[in-house]
């Protein structure tokens, strides 16, 4: 598994974490290229189904990050998101989905270093965990094989 390059997708809010990641860039702090960002207006916008879609399209790990509590640009979006994640994480865990592969974080626009840490630690962890075999077995891409779906 030495050369395993995990696919990690980060769902971040525009106002804090996206800006924080911008600061990581302007500060020229290096981090792993495995993580790619998709921008949302607010963590409140991040539907739980988006996480399911990431796994089934082949993500090995997911980062969800937004403004620290009380810092939300829209004042309360991250609070609602937090409740959603508390519940959803519970459900994922109960259905046997590996919540170790989802890193939730608060990264502010000033926390360029923290963003790099979040990314690097997450990448390290996912590399240790290896490819998400369980989910890969049911991933969308399995349909595109010659045999594909169970004709039974």
Partner 1 sequence: MNDMIKKVTQLLTDKTIDVFIGYGKGSADRSRAIFVRTAEQAENLVFSANCTQNLAGYLLKHEVKHLGKLGILANVAALRSILQLASEFQIKDGEVLVLFANPDGSFTEFLDFHSIEGYLLTTETGITSGEQERIAALEAMSVSERWTFWNQEFEKCIKCYACRAACPMCYCHRCTTDVNQPQWIPVASHERGNLDYHLMRAMHLAGRCVNCGECANACPMDIPLNLLTYQLISPIKAGFGATAGMKSDAVYALSTYKPDDKENFII
Partner 2 sequence: MSRIGVFVCHCGENISATVNCEKVAKITGELKGVEFSTDYKYMCSDPGQTLLKEAIKEHKLDGVVVAACSPRMHEPTFRKACAEAGLNPFLCEMSNIREHCSWVHPKDDLTTEKAEDLVRVMVEKVKKNKALKSIKVPVTKTALVIGGGIAGIQAALDIANCGHKVIMVEKLPSIGGHMSQLSETFPTLDCSQCILTPRMVEIAQHPNITLHTYSEVESVDGFIGNFKIKIRKKSKSLDEHLCTGCGLCTTKCPQKKIPNEFERGLGFRPAIYVPFPQAVPNKPVIDRENCTYYIKGKCKVCEIVCPTKAIRFDQEDEVIEVEAGAIVMATGFDVLKSDYFPEYGFGKYKDVIDGLQFERLASASGPTQGEIRRPSDGQVPKKIVFVACAGSRDPAKGIEYCSKICCMYTAKHAMLYKHKVHDGTPYVFYMDIRAGGKMYEEFVRRTIVEDGTHYVRGRVSTIYEKNGKLIVKGADTLMGGIPIEIEADMVVLATAGVANKGAEELAQTVHISYDSYKFFAEAHPKLKPVETNTAGIFLAGACQAPKDIPESVAAASGAAVKVAALFSNDELTRDPLVAVVNRQAAPVYSACVGCFLCQSVCPYQAIEREEIKSRSGEIIKTLARVNEGLCQGCGTCVALCRTKAIDIHGYSNQQVYTEIMALLND
Partner 3 sequence: MEKELKILKYSELSKLIERFRSNGYPVLAPVRKGKVVEIELVESLDAIALDVLLSTQSAKKAAFPKVEKVLRYTLGKSEVQQFPVDPEACPDTILFGVRPCDASGFKSLDAIFGEAPADQFYLKKKEKTTIISFSCPTADEYCFCTSVGGGPGNTAGSDLQFTGISKDDILVEILTEKGAKLSLLFADLLSEAGASIDKSKFLADVKVAFKVDSVVEKTTASFGNATLWLEQSLRCIGCGACAFVCPTCACFDFQDEQNTKNGVRLRLWDSCGFSLFTLHTSGHNPREVQSQRWRQRIMHKFAYMPEQLHVVGCEGCGRCSRACPVDMNIKEHLTAISLI
Nearer to partner 3, 53 or 124 (CB): 53
Instruction: Report whether 85 contacts 64 (CB < 8 A).
Output: yes
The residue length of the chain stands at 152
- Please name which of 151, 150, 152 lies closest in space to residue 137, comparing C-alpha atoms: 150
CA distance 94 to 114: 30
* Stretch in the footprint of partner 3 (CB under 8 A) among 32-40, 44-52, 82-90, 139-147: 139-147
Among 27, 57, 90, 93, binds partner 3 (CB under 8 A): 57
Across the chain, the runs of DSSP E, i.e. the strands, are 8-13, 35-40, 61-66, 102-106
Q: Which does 113 bind (CB under 5 to 8 A by kind): partner 1, partner 2, partner 3, none?
A: none
Which DSSP symbol is given to 77? H
Question: Using the rule CB under 8 A, is 129 a contact of partner 1?
Answer: no
* Stretch in the footprint of partner 3 (CB under 8 A) among 4-12, 85-93, 114-122, 137-145: 137-145
Among 4, 27, 36, 90, binds partner 1 (CB under 8 A): 90
Which two tokens mark 90?
């519970």
Question: Using the rule CB under 8 A, is 88 a contact of partner 1?
Answer: yes
| Side-chain-side CA neighbours of residue 54 (13 Å) | 25
Nearer to partner 3, 3 or 146 (CB): 146
Which DSSP symbol is given to 70? T
Nearer to partner 2, 45 or 125 (CB): 45
Question: Using the rule CB under 8 A, is 92 a contact of partner 1?
Answer: yes
């Amino acid at each position: 598994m030495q050369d395993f390059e995990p696919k990690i997708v980060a769902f971040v809010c525009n106002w804090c974490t996206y800006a924080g990641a911008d600061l990581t860039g302007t500060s020229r702090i290096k981090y792993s290229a495995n993580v790619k960002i998709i921008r949302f207006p607010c963590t409140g916008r991040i539907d739980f189904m988006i996480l399911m879609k990431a796994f089934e399209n082949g993500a090995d790990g997911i980062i969800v990050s937004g403004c620290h509590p009380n810092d939300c640009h829209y004042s309360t979006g991250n609070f609602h998101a937090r409740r959603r994640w508390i519940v959803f994480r519970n459900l994922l865990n109960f259905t046997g989905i590996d919540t170790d592969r989802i890193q939730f974080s608060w990264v502010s626009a000033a926390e360029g270093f923290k963003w790099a840490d979040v990314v690097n630690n997450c990448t390290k962890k996912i590399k240790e965990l290896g490819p998400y075999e369980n989910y890969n077995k049911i991933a969308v891409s399995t349909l595109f094989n010659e045999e594909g779906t169970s004709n039974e």
